[in-house]
Chain A
Amino acid sequence: MSQERLLRLGLAISAPLLALVAAFAITSLVLIAAGDPVGEVWSTILSVPASRNFANIVNNATVLYLSGIAVAVGFRMNLFNIGVDGQYRVAAFIAAVVAGEAWLPGHLNTVLAIAAAMLAGAMWAGIAGLLRATRGVSEVISTIMLNFIATGLVAYFLRKAAVRTPGSNTLATKEIPEGSRIPNISIGDGPGQDLYGFLVIAAVVGFAYWFLLNRTRFGFDLRATGQSGTAAVASGINVRRMTIAAMLISGAVAGLVGMPILFGSAYSYGSTFQSGLGFAGIAIALLGRNNPIGIAVGALLFAYLNEQSNPLQILVGVSPDIVAITQGTIVLTVVISYEVVRRFGIRLEQQAVARALTEPPPARPSSPNEEVSA
């Protein structure tokens, strides 16, 4: 049977490899068609990152990881939480206000602010969950609308809550007192070589995600509902409650997305706070197949591409936006190659069965399981 296991392992590895190769090939084709130097672009991107770049990659990956986990919680229940973008911005703003006001001393303040962020993210996602559970509104549309509403609301309240730093045009909340910041982990001498201390919390979140979904009754119910709503109802699961719960958890994790930046480098929420992290999370969750380790790999890959493409404009005169094409293409090719490899695997199994039986059974069209996102 070891040969069969080897085959299965080979298939599992070949899918993401195939996807990466295809995405790189498509990007190269775009570069060639545009007349840009393909070789120099790749040698720049694939060079070994310096210590400072390494810190940036890990920090960026920490943030993307949380975003990916938030999306993945929804995916496990067949819920498409496109609203992570709005959820993390609402949450980061509220956390920044709470932490800036410093009602509690030291790290109690940090804990309070993070709790507020998780609550805010959960509430914002909960609206979509409630609408889905009670009114049957597709969470895809409602979370998109909630993203736009979040943008407006945060802009409005930011103007109300902001303190103006003299000589600066940007609006920002009150800065978090030094005692409430999360200390960074230094990996070298000199500036820019610090890893977010929040990295540890992100790892804990990843473990909690795995434990909750794979080792608890709740997680089993959630996955069961995601795979078959009717089967879940038949076994006594309250699907509405699960929908709301899944959205609340997803939103709570989404609330954490902005926290590494807030407590590790920005120390306040301003109009320049990093945006677009939610959409990257969708791509990363897909890339990591909703597996906590896979999501970490996906987050590192995306962060790596982002960081390594930065000097492209200066070094080879190519716009770094080219990696957005690579990243988007990876999402497509990953899903496609898993589908292709899965069908290939099914065909291999069918052939094996056919060989094992002396008389091959009459040809029956395969009815592959339609799950792709799970």
Chain B
Amino acid sequence: MSTRIDVRTDKAATRRFPRRYVVLAAIVLTLAAMSILEMITGAGDLTSSGTIAATMVATAPIMLAALGGLWSERAGIVNIGLEGMMILGTYGAGYFGYHYGAWAGVVGAIMMGMIGGLVHAVATVVFGIDHIISGVAINIIALGAVQYLASLTFVGLPGGGSTQSPKIPNVPSITIGPLRDALGTVEKQDLFVVSEAAALLRAMVTNLSSLVLIALLALVLSYVVLWRTSFGLRLRSCGESPAAAESLGIKVMRYKFVAVLISGGMAGLGGGFLAMVASSNYRDGQTGGRGYIGLAAMIFGNWRPSGLLAGSGLFGYTETLGLRQGGTSVHALLLALAVLALAAAVWQARQGLMRAAIISGSVAVAIGALYAAIDEVPGDFTRMTPYVITLLVLAFASQRLRMPAADGQIYRKGSAG
């Protein structure tokens, strides 16, 4: 990252509106855009409360994985083993959930994830080996370990086998009846923006799993701890400049170790969520690469809690659309993408970046032509959407991202000299 860009973002930060207005405006604008998009394309499922509820279920595990990434990378440890830690979490939820009840399953998922985190912490912090190598190894070990453990512990149980656990109890979910009905009527009215807002609220008071709430709580808590406490400041200083941190008397290794443990716990909880809420038992291959997606969501979100929420929301949303009559919905999103690219081209042209503007403009035209040419996006492509979006975002926005300065670097105790 060049200093020029840092200076510019700092200037922008001082001129910015209060944060809560920005967030509120973003939500209203998004809803308005979706409303218009629905009207133009006739794709009715883009903002139904059903879609939103499913989106929340799809988003939560990705967000938890992203939070796991946030904790460890803010302390300077790259954690590509999130996928493996999630896998361990799915097994933990299956085993402890079946034997000791739903909440034991949640705790079991977190514990199993933390075991993965422990391995990563020992390898990267204590032995100081390359973070990515350790992460890859953990992914291999975790996959083999749960397959081995599943055939050891689930075979012979009712409904269980070497690739899945018996059905596990779910954590309680919350419904506020009267509010749900009232909002349901508003949603059906087809009012511009209002209906969309009603659908959003309705999804939040209908059959909302308490694990979704816990996931949101984890997000808020992570923000408060990392940015509003001295513990968090010290932890982040280990990711920015461990040598400086150590010279100020911070126990760098200890902070890194704790951060990676919490990271594993978050990812494990994400895995547990997949087993308990998104499904009703542990299954082989349940994570489907969501650990990697979480990592991408965190990078997308510029190593910030609010950003990673937006990133995982985007992935959760496209994943949901892919499952619910995905063809037409993703087709409608193509139009939105084309308009966005066009807007980017205009903005870039006004900034004087002609080459970038021409590229964005041709992308806009290409997507627009694609929208006009086909009626429905085939299933294989709707499933690819989150990954393509990640690549595009990284390709076009990576200059604006700033990762912790010492992220991924191996730090040995006493290097401060």
Q: Interface of A with B (CB < 8 Å)?
A: 30, 34, 36, 80, 82, 131, 135-138, 140-142, 144-146, 148-149, 152-153, 155-156, 159, 279, 282-283, 286, 319, 321-325, 327-329, 331-332, 335-336, 339-340, 365, 367-368, 370, 372-373
| CB–CB B380/A149 < 8 A | no
Selected interface stretch from B144-152, B231-239, B362-370: B144-152
Q: Is the interface of B mostly helix, strand, loop or mixed?
A: helix
Q: How far is the CA of A282 from the CA of B136 in the complex (A)?
A: 8
CB neighbours of A30 from chain B (8 A)? 145, 148
Q: How far is the CA of A144 from the CA of B384 in the complex (A)?
A: 12
> Which residue of A136, A140, A325, A328 is within 8 Å of B399 (Cβ)?
A136
> Which residue of B136, B145, B295 is within 8 Å of A283 (Cβ)?
B136
Q: How far is the CA of A286 from the CA of B129 in the complex (A)?
A: 12
The total of chain B residues at the interface (CB under 8 A) is 51
* Known interface pairs A141-B295, A321-B151, A329-B137; A149-B384 also in contact (CB < 8 Å): yes
CB neighbours of A155 from chain B (8 A)? 380
Q: How far is the CA of A142 from the CA of B292 in the complex (A)?
A: 11
* Known interface pairs A141-B295, A141-B390, A153-B384; A322-B132 also in contact (CB < 8 Å): no
CB neighbours of A339 from chain B (8 A)? 127-129
CB neighbours of A135 from chain B (8 A)? 394-396, 398-399
| CB–CB A156/B123 < 8 A | no
Q: How far is the CA of A329 from the CA of B133 in the complex (A)?
A: 11
Q: How far is the CA of A286 from the CA of B139 in the complex (A)?
A: 15
25 contacts between A and B (CB under 8 A): A34-B149, A34-B152, A131-B391, A131-B394, A131-B395, A135-B395, A136-B399, A144-B289, A144-B292, A146-B391, A148-B384, A149-B391, A156-B381, A279-B136, A279-B139, A321-B147, A321-B151, A324-B143, A325-B148, A328-B139, A332-B137, A335-B134, A340-B127, A373-B130, A373-B133
Apart from A146-B391, A332-B119, A339-B129, what are 20 other A-B pairs with CB-CB below 8 Å? A137-B395, A140-B132, A141-B292, A141-B299, A141-B390, A141-B394, A144-B295, A144-B296, A148-B384, A152-B384, A159-B380, A283-B137, A319-B162, A323-B144, A327-B140, A328-B138, A332-B129, A335-B129, A335-B137, A373-B133
CB neighbours of A336 from chain B (8 A)? 123, 127, 129
> Which residue of B137, B395, B398 is within 8 Å of A331 (Cβ)?
B137
> Which residue of A282, A329, A370 is within 8 Å of B141 (Cβ)?
A329
Q: How far is the CA of A266 from the CA of B414 in the complex (A)?
A: 56
B202-238 CB mask vs A (1 if < 8 Å, else 0) is 0000000000000000000000000000000000000
CB neighbours of B136 from chain A (8 A)? 82, 279, 282-283, 286, 331
